[in-house]
Structure 1
Amino acid sequence: MTVTHGFHATMTAQPGKGAELLAFLLDAPALSNEDCVVFLVSRSSDNEDVVYVTEGWTSQEAHGAFFATGAAQQLVGQLQPLLAGEPDYIDELPVGGKAAF
């Protein structure tokens, strides 16, 4: 599948909540959405409360449709209390590479 919409997000968890934020993101339903081609979750090597997410979607419309669902909005509501402020987003398009976990 071709990625035509993507972004990189930096999220800072409430103090001491980095592991909880990681677990929450690693259980995200986007992982099973066929239009979500890339969903990579990482953490800072020197601050366990800073988490990075890179997403790649088949289209901006597919991304929007997914997040317009009630289930996705509920998840966003559950995510917000884990965060210490708003995430920082950078538009990008993942084009390839390798991931093995």
Structure 2
Amino acid sequence: MIINHGFHATMTAKPGKGDELVEFLLKAPSLSNEDCVVFLVGRSAANRDIVYVTEGWVTQEAHGEFFATAEAQALVAALQPLLAGESEYVDEVPIGGKAAV
């Protein structure tokens, strides 16, 4: 599948909430959305409260349609209490590689 839209997000959890943030993200509904073809969660080795998410979507429209749903809006609202501030987003379109967990 071709990826035409994506981003890399850096999220900082409230102190001590990094594990909870990772667990929350790994249950995100995007993981089961067929238009989301890359959803990787990682974290900083130096600061376990810094979490990274890389997403790749078939189109920007598919991403927008998903995040307009009530399910996605509920996810965003439930995510906020875990975060220490605003997440940082960088434009990134995943091209390929390997992920083994």
Q: Which consecutive unaligned segments of at least 5 residues does structure 1 have?
A: none
Q: TM-score, normalised by structure 1?
A: 0.99
Calculate the TM-score normalised by the size of structure 2: 0.99
Aligned position for 2:3: 3
The aligned counterpart of 1:32 is: 32
Show structure 2 runs of 5+ residues with no match.
Answer: none
Report the aligned-residue RMSD. 0.4
Sequence identity (%): 72
Alignment of 1:38-77 (within 5 A): 38-77=38-77
| Runs of 4+ more than 4 Å apart | none
Secondary structure in 2 aligned to 1:40?
Answer: strand
Offset at 1:100?
Answer: 1.2
Q: Residues of 2 paired with 1:99 and 1:77: CA distance?
A: 29
3-state DSSP class of the match of 1:71?
helix
Q: How does 1:77-96 map to 2 (within 5 A)?
A: 77-96=77-96
